[in-house]
Structure 1
Amino acid sequence: MIDRDRLGALLRRERAAFAAGNPRSAAEYAQAGNLFGRVPMTWMNKKAAGFPLYLAEARGARVTDLDGHEYADFCLGDTAAMAGHSPEPVVAAVRERFEVAGGACAMLPTPDAAWVGAELTRRFGVARWSFALTATDANRWAIRLLRAVTGRPRILFNSYCYHGSVDESLIVLEDGVPRSREGNVGAPVEVTRTSRVAEFNDLEGLERELANGDVAAVIMEPALTNIGIVLPEDGYLEGVRRISRKYGTYLINDETHTFSAGPGGATGLWGLEPDVVTIGKAIGGGIPAAAYGLSQRLAEDIEAIPGLDLIDMGGVGGTLAGNALSIAATRATLEHVLTEPAFRRMSDLAEMFGKGVQRVIDEHRLPWSVTRLGARVEYRFTSPAPRSGTESSRAGDPELEDFLHVYLANRGILLTPFHNMALMSPATTEDMVAHHERTFAEAIGELTGRTGPS
């Protein structure tokens, strides 16, 4: 239904406007030759407009770039700033720890850690917690522990899942055949040697793989997010838990993105019973922080393994894991920012955002869909919404996505660069959501030829 010639012309126009309007960002990018890929981290090269915007300031749910343009930020650091940028309770806790008390990295525990562990247990149910700096590290350590306790070599993932840069996770199904995911850079071994794979929402496929008897753990998001939001069908998550127990396989819920579902993520919202929960990004309020939690029984089983070194060689995350500054920020975030009332408001705003997008889609009779997970909402170029990661991957349209991202950025709105995904924070406002709806409507009007340029 999209006129590709019109789309191409609109995208060229928007990219030209972006280049003209952001000379300082363009200049910074041009002179950053000593950086690999010209950016501090190569993911920042996901740039629909040809070069990235450069950050000057960020507060709450707004960011300002070097050229002085202010944006309603629905990206929020791809979840890392879900608490908002520099929330005051976190700023105060970090200042107290780093400036007043001193000692961010003393290699000594602080009382804050026990408070955070108890709060995470209250929210997610699992009883024993430890810390890392990234969700990738938390997932890696959980995998190692479950291989140790089971003696099994393989891990099962959902096709097109996302669990950070965990090597074992980069496996997909293509026409029912497991293979390495495209873009799996420098894999240490062929991924099918370490991993098994099943489609999300496919219990038969899951059972077929677990029946081999060599899978230590199923690691999954309770809803896929990083290939687009894919929600679980009725009975699917209960089936995963039943089948994993049947074959003596542990279950890890990665809540790093699904934390948007509520104060206890999807695990708390849907009453799930994983053996392990991993989480990162948002819990530190913008300071690097992550955690993994174990059920009481699993923790006791691991501690009972003779000769298992959990102190020296077995340490997770390096020297900085569980540092005093990260833990102080995590306590402040959980205690004062990402609270139950905050999640209720964030979810309401996401519902408002989704309904606004749906109105535009309906008005233009587009075969698109909108999916929401708590405070996170996304629009996809297909309807009905995909039910698996593979379906979701095939529904992509990079040129159309780039057009919408640049169009919105040129008018003061940032979405997550990897998707048409918006995340709400405690600082997000109804005016920001309404601004997106108006601008999205203008973009679709131009795309369909029903309105002129704004």
Structure 2
Amino acid sequence: MDRTRLQHLLARERAQAQRRCPRSEEAYARAGHLFGRVPMTWMNKTAGSFPRYLDTARGARVTDIDGHEYIDFCLGDTGAMAGHSPAPVAEAVQRRFAEQGGATAMLPTEDAEWVGAELTRRFGLARWSFSLTATDANRWAIRLARAVTGRPKILVNSYSYHGSVDESLIVVGPDGHGVARPGNVGAPCDVTLTSRVAEFNDLEQLERELAHGDVAAVLMEPALTNIGIVLPEPGYLEGVRALTRQHGTLLINDETHTLSAGPGGCTAAWDLEPDLLTVGKAIGGGIPAGAYGLSAELADRLLDRDDLDLVDMGGVGGTLAGNALSVAAMRATLEHVLTDEAFGRMAKLSERFEAGVRAGIDAHALPWSVSRLGARTEYRFASPAPRTGTESEAAGDAELEDFLHVHLANRGILLTPFHNMALMCPDTTEADVDTHTEVFAAALAELAG
């Protein structure tokens, strides 16, 4: 690739973004009381020199304060996989908060049992508890795993994503052993004291790490997502389950992003059998929500322990977790929006998106790849597709990625800012997908010169 041409095109697109979005640029310049000038520092991950500011969002559309409408394939990095403000969720939240009240009364509602039963139907786990984020669901699942096994360490895959869980910020180093993930902020201790790591799709490495006998649980995504989609090779997930059982280690499936695979995520789609499962973001339809599920056997073992404080200060739970508002949102989302039928439509749109991207790649004989996981599609600057998180991380090209993102945004299309991920929601249309195909092809033609 002609890097000089790429730099010229990127500069042109950034300048165009400034001309198009003066109100967003001004709002960013005025935000002096915010750490990093944004509500959360990751909002600075943008292909331009400032973020676009939100005005309205409905379904698969977002409008910024400069009046530009975007087809949204980012969808809150999965948080809005149900679409923005779906009517059934908006109605349930309005009813619970404005009419019934009691969102933070610290009392259960009957909605909670409905949601638990529906999550059991989808994922198979028998018992459920709620959080406000998938990060907290993972933290609490880890605590329960340590308590029931008496073991100190957690094993994750290199470059997997489990939110800001301290134990997960470990990667495989050049010598094949675990090291802190670059850029980790304020780690409480050396991550190798709490964690072990193995490459995704590497059963030999996993077995080597489990053989130490100190791993309470393997916390994993059934397919890597936040470093580009890395799909499991045939037999890999079955091997993980066999090895964890052989070594007395629990298995936690984090389905927060991989829920895109279907109504019950990869766990249902691929007949997986985890001991615990965590999920968040999408199940609340835009309202903060998360959950973790346990097998009946594991739940009984924990509840039979009179030495564990599961009620007060034992480290599992939060005052707002399971509040009536978020539970009402979860019920509305699961019952009326992210239905089995909706997932079927979303997957077909994702197939169409994948085909459009592949056609663009093939037209220029680019050494890139595209992978799909149900309603989620992603392209990487490597061919064949990376088979581990470390390979996928090495395939990154920040300058090229920024060009594609800002080029698309300037023409009314948003992708997830952290990588080249596109997600479908129930309101996404074939026309939306085809618009991306056309704009993506035009961007590749400009790069080719």
- The worse-fitting range, judged by mean Cα deviation, of 304-313 and 71-80 is 304-313
CA distance in 1, matches of 2:382, 2:388: 13
Give the superposition deviation at 1:177. Answer: 2.3
Distance 1:342 1:316 in 2: 34
Single out whichever of 303-312 and 398-407 deviates more from structure 2: 303-312
Q: Which residue of 2 aligns with 1:185?
A: 185
Amino acid at match of 2:96: R
Q: Match of 1:331?
A: 331
Aligned position for 2:113:
114
1:250 match? 250
| Local SS of the residue matching 2:137 | helix
Is structure 2 residue 422 aligned with structure 1 residue 422? Answer: yes
Aligned to 1:386: 386
CA distance, structure 1, for counterparts of residue 168 and residue 217 of structure 2:
12
1:83 aligns with 2:82: yes
CA distance in 1, matches of 2:46, 2:365: 29
**RMSD of aligned alpha carbons:** 0.6
Shift of 1:211: 0.5
In the TM superposition, what whole-angstrom CA distance separates every residue of 1:228-287 from its partner, at most 9, and x where no partner exists?
100000000000000000000000000000000000000010000000000000000000
Equivalence for 2:155: 156
The reply on whether 1:126 has 2:101 as its aligned counterpart is no
Paired residue secondary structure (1:359):
helix
Q: Deviations for 1:357-399, whole angstroms, at most 9, x for unmatched residues?
A: 1001111110110000000000111100000000000000000
- What is the alpha-carbon distance in structure 2 between the residues aligned to residue 307 and residue 419 of structure 1? 44
Q: Partner amino acid for 1:170? A: L
AA at the equivalent of 2:109: T
Matches within 5 A, 1:250-289: 250-289=250-289
**1:452 match:** none
Counterpart for residue 368 of structure 1: 368
Query: Could you tell me how far apart the structure 1 residues matched to 2:322 and 2:314 are?
Result: 15
Count of residue pairs brought into register by the alignment? 448
Identity %: 73
User: Which residue of 1 is the match for residue 52 of structure 2?
Assistant: 53
Aligned counterparts of 1:260 and 1:317: Cα–Cα separation in 2: 26
Q: Which residue of 1 aligns with 2:350?
A: 350
The whole-number CA distance in structure 2 between the counterparts of 1:435 and 1:334 is: 29
Asked whether the 8 Å contact 2:154–2:195 carries over to 1, the reply is yes
String of CA shifts for 1:425-454, please: whole Å, max 9, x gaps: 0000111100000000000000001xxxxx
Equivalents in 2 of 1:109, 1:174: separation in Å?
A: 46
**2:37 corresponds to which residue?**
38
Q: Secondary structure in 2 aligned to 1:152?
A: coil
Provide the secondary structure at the position in 1 that maps to 2:407.
Answer: helix
2:204 matched residue in structure 1: 204
> How many Å apart are 1:303 and its aligned residue?
1.1
| Superposed displacement of residue 317, structure 1 | 3.7
User: What is the TM-score when the length of structure 1 is the normalising length?
Assistant: 0.98
Structure 1 gap segments, 5+ residues each = 450-454
How far off its partner does 1:315 sit? Answer: 5.2
In structure 2, what is the Cα distance between the partners aligned to 1:75 and 1:316?
A: 31
Alignment correspondent of 2:219: 219
